[in-house]
Amino acid sequence: MTSDAYPGRPAALSSRSMVTAPHALAAQAGVTTLTNGGNAADAAIAIAASLTALYPHMTGIGGDAFFLYYDAASDAIHAYNGSGAAAHEATLDFYAARKDSHIPERSGAAVLTVPGAVDAWYALHERFGTLTMESILAPAIGYAQAGAPAARSFVAAIHRLRDMLSQDDAARVLLVEHGPRRTGDRFANPALAQTLREIAKGGRRYWYEGEAAAAIDRCCRSVGSPLRARDLAAHRGLFTQPCRGHFFGCASLTMPPNSQGIAALVAQQTYEAYCEQHGDLQLADGSAQRVHAQSEAIGYAYADRDACVGDPRDASPWAPLLDGAHTRVLAQAIDPNALAQEPVAHVDAGDTAYFACVDSGGNAVSFIQSLFHSFGAGVVVPELGIALQNRGTAFELTAGTLRSLVPGRRPFHTLMPCMLLRDGRPWLVYGSMGGEGQPQTALQLTTRILVDGHDPQTAIEAPRWRFTRDATAEPAQLHLEARFSQACRAGLRARGHELHVLGDFDESMGHAGAICIDRERGVLVGGADPRGDGAALGL
């Protein structure tokens, strides 16, 4: 594993423990928790809570969370679905009465699913944690109460979305009037600090059945949301089995539906099969040949995803998609020299926070938490100091589909924490924010690490591409960071790709994080994305 290929920041190295997070102070909270005797579960919760104070545009307790946890003592990996279901009053008739053809992206009508993050924290803590929640949440409470310097991404999001935030009275006061104006301005949120204290003291009951639920109910009624306290009281996350595929000698794990994780596994297996079928091609990193083949694999994977991913109770059988015969057929359909399909890409603006931790006992966690879009629905609960998610906008206002809005149904979810295993144990713990781009980032990172031999930091910093569209009326395009060569761009255009060239490091490519567990040398190798504000820190 080498870092010679790209002269960026060095990979983080440690022989004991490692964290990676999209905000450096959140990573520090994880290290502090480990130093205080906590394990990977404790550190992950500390990071998750700290990000609610430090990165409120990307994540918060008004949103959802998923995680994969490797418990070294039992040598087992556990997956947790912390997504909330649609409210009892969130019906097709509710939106028909509003004359909506689709669920609004912002405003109270966009708040229609239960925030599941707090439940996910407690599920992780009760099964695997060691420290008290008061100790674990202490760094986050400190950041929220005293304030912390605002990160560039947070400040940019406020400036970009000022008009939207100003439509909600509480959001305007918290984020526009009292929010940071420049990177480094101190931002405090005392209401959030008190909410975190109450969560530490009252646990799930406070959030889902107590005063927090009542405050969310009052806020939702005032802004025209169908979400009610009864919906929070009914919430239950669930432990489940990871979705498992394979990629260049490793087992590849992520979340099953309602997560889109299946798309990453199908794309990985399709690309590996393509490499086997076209061993004569030069599929070097940064080449048009590789970008073309991988983007085509993603297109087929998204078609599979859209046909099967929904609420776990409703999802179509997905295991056959990971049959080697299926992905070999997909690989055979890829023309090395031309677009073989016109894959569907949705408009996507997902903002999320991914982070990971490996502790000295060998436990590992891959954790992702989100409000969906920046600041979620743009609705702030003033007593709690939190924004509410707009994840329910993934539902469709037509009956009879996997994504149809049905009360009590979990929505299609982009969140997908990941791991690669060697000999049955975690070898790479990784993931990224980025909405529908997450499977695309996963494919690129794992190829660079497994095939090219790069360390996580080098793989993360390398130029990335993403197949997406900017608006409903626009054609789907292959977005490329400007560091891809002119030869690569010319080769892609010759194959029929429409290109949109971005800056050198574009935040739309996501904030990735990864930790490689090198058991032969007894070393942890971590990386954090320069497109974010984070760090990988060893202990």
The pLDDT assigned to 6 comes to 45
Look at the block and give the residue holding tokens 């986050």.
Answer: 140
Clarify whether 468 is annotated catalytic.
Answer: no
Q: Which residues pair with 422 in a beta bridge?
A: 425
Looking at residue 5, its pLDDT comes to: 46
> Residues 6 or more apart from 382 whose CB is under 8 A from it?
169, 170, 173, 174, 191, 219
Which residue has 């550190």 as its token pair? 43
* Pairwise CA distance, residues 151 & 157, whole Å: 10
Nearest residue to 261 (alpha-carbon basis) of 333, 186, 318, 320: 318
pTM: 0.95
Please state whether the peptide bond connecting residue 337 to the residue before it is cis, i.e. omega within 30 degrees of 0. no
The per-residue pLDDT for 473 is 45
Determine the 3-state secondary structure of 186 from DSSP. strand
In the chain, domain spans = 1-81+115-203+239-404+412-531
Output DSSP code: residue 242.
P
Q: Taking each helix axis as running N to C, give the angle between helix 190-208 and helix 117-128, from 0 to 180 degrees, rounded to the nearest 10.
A: 70
DSSP class per residue in 356-407: EEE-TTS-EEEEEEEEESTTTTSEEETTTTEEEP-GGGGSBSSTTSTTB--T
Please check whether residue 208 is in contact with residue 96, taking contact to mean a CB–CB distance below 8 angstroms. Answer: no
Q: Which CATH architecture has domain 1-81+115-203+239-404+412-531?
A: 4-Layer Sandwich (3.60)
Question: Would you state the pLDDT for residue 471?
Answer: 47
| CA–CA gap between residue 118 and residue 62 (Å, rounded) | 9
Q: Write out the chain's pLDDT in tens, 539 residues.
A: 544 444 578 999 999 999 999 999 999 999 999 999 999 999 999 999 999 999 999 999 999 999 999 999 999 999 999 999 999 999 999 999 999 999 999 999 999 999 999 999 999 999 999 999 999 999 999 999 999 999 999 999 999 999 999 999 999 999 999 999 999 999 999 999 999 999 999 999 999 999 999 999 999 999 999 999 999 999 999 999 999 999 999 999 999 999 999 999 999 999 999 999 998 777 999 999 999 999 999 999 999 999 999 999 987 788 899 989 999 999 999 999 999 866 555 545 557 899 999 999 999 999 999 999 999 999 999 999 999 999 999 999 999 999 999 999 999 999 999 999 999 999 999 999 888 899 999 999 999 999 999 999 999 999 999 998 654 445 678 999 999 999 999 999 999 999 999 999 999 999 999 999 999 999 999 999 999 999 999 99
For residue 526, give the nearest of 429, 416, 450 by alpha carbon: 429
Q: Give residue for tokens 């405090």.
A: 188
Cα separation, 462 vs 3, in Å, equals: 11
- β-pairing verdict for 499-501 and 477-480: parallel
How many whole angstroms separate alpha carbon 159 and alpha carbon 154?
9
With a CB cutoff of 8 Å and minimum separation 6, the contacts of 159 are: none
Nearest one of 518, 383, 401, 451 to 92, comparing CA atoms: 401
Q: Which residues contact 323 (CB under 8 A, 6 or more apart)?
A: none
- CA distances (Å), 223 to each of 27, 106, 398, 415, 506, in order? 35, 11, 24, 27, 34
Q: What count of other Cβ atoms lies within 10 Å of the Cβ of residue 264?
A: 29
Q: Which residues are CB-contacts of 286 (< 8 A; sequence separation ≥ 6)?
A: 462, 463, 484, 485, 488
Neighbours of 134 (CB within 10 A): 13
Separation between Cα atoms, residue 129 and residue 40, nearest integer Å: 8
Strand bridging mode 523-528 / 512-518: antiparallel
Closest by CA to 441, choosing from 504, 531, 503, 518, is 531
The confidence score (pLDDT) of residue 118 equals 99
Helix pair angle (288-308, 261-277), 10° resolution: 140
CA distance 120 to 54: 19
Distance (Å, whole) CA 201 – CA 195: 10
Residue count of the chain: 539
> What pLDDT does residue 262 have?
97
b/e map 91-122, b = 16+ CB within 10 Å: bbebbeeeeeeebbbbbbbbbbbbbbbbbbbb
* Cβ–Cβ under 8 Å, residues 462 and 3: no
Catalytic pick among 352, 414, 446, 458? 352
* Contact (Cβ atoms closer than 8 angstroms) between residue 30 and residue 39: no
